[in-house]
A and B are shown apart, each in its own frame.
Chain A
Amino acid sequence: EAQVTQNPRYLITVTGKKLTVTCSQNMNHEYMSWYRQDPGLGLRQIYYSMNVEVTDKGDVPEGYKVSRKEKRNFPLILESPSPNQTSLYFCASSLTGLMTYEQYFGPGTRLTVT
């Protein structure tokens, strides 16, 4: 089954404790992206990756890091989480090209930072 998986699905942590949210896709997609979703603000793009070893900032990259060492995986790293990073996080992937970029989203990771 074609899918995007994220782990963990739920996470409660404390301020300053480094964490990683994993994202994996099995569709051989070049493009992957991370979003956060907050009430009233919609989905906001954190980082994206056009292919292996190629990443760039979205609109809200502060406090986050990413890496793309393999095509299927795109982990999101919070080096020193703060309460304002409490949110619902989604990973997405898509093909690239002239008439594509329809994104497939993972199930989400709900993060609470206390």
Chain B
Amino acid sequence: EDQVTQSPEALRLQEGESSSLNCSYTVSGLRGLFWYRQDPGKGPEFLFTLYSAGEEKEKERLKATLTKKESFLHITAPKPEDSATYLCAVQARYNFNKFYFGSGTKLNVKP
């Protein structure tokens, strides 16, 4: 069964304190792994897509990496505006149209 597990459920950081969020997945052939950011009361906003193990993508203070079993979202020197829920989703090779989301990591960055 295709499945995505994110940890931790919640993370509280001080401004400037770097950390990583984890997304573990099981899927019958990974086609793509997606990271989204969701602010309270809004729809998810696309951040990154990763397609193969070893791939890395960066955007400002965020860097996403991918292995054969998990992905990490590294946050370097976070700021309060990085506070949000971060969602991970996988897309399987056998059906590009289906997506499986994790339940998210709620990040709170204190000034």
Given A48-B98, A58-B98, are A41 and B43 neighbors across the interface (CB < 8 Å)? no
Q: B36, B44, B103: which contacts A41 (Cβ < 8 A)?
A: B103
Cα-based distance from A107 to B49 in the complex (angstroms): 21
- Cβ contacts under 8 Å, B89 to chain A: 43
Q: Which of B71-96 contact A (CB under 8 A)?
A: 87, 89, 91, 96
Q: Which of A54-109 contact B (CB under 8 A)?
A: 56, 58-59, 90, 92, 96, 99, 101-108
Does more than half of chain B's interface fall in helix, strand or loop, or is it mixed?
strand
Closest chain B CB from A52 CB (angstroms): 15
| Complex contact B43–A102 (CB within 8 A) | no
| A45 contacts partner chain B, Cβ-Cβ < 8 Å | yes
Given A43-B87, A43-B89, are A106 and B43 neighbors across the interface (CB < 8 Å)? yes
Beyond the given pairs A50-B97, A90-B44, A103-B44, 6 more chain A to chain B contacts, judged by CB atoms under 8 angstroms and listed by A's residue number, are A41-B103, A42-B102, A43-B99, A45-B99, A92-B43, A103-B34
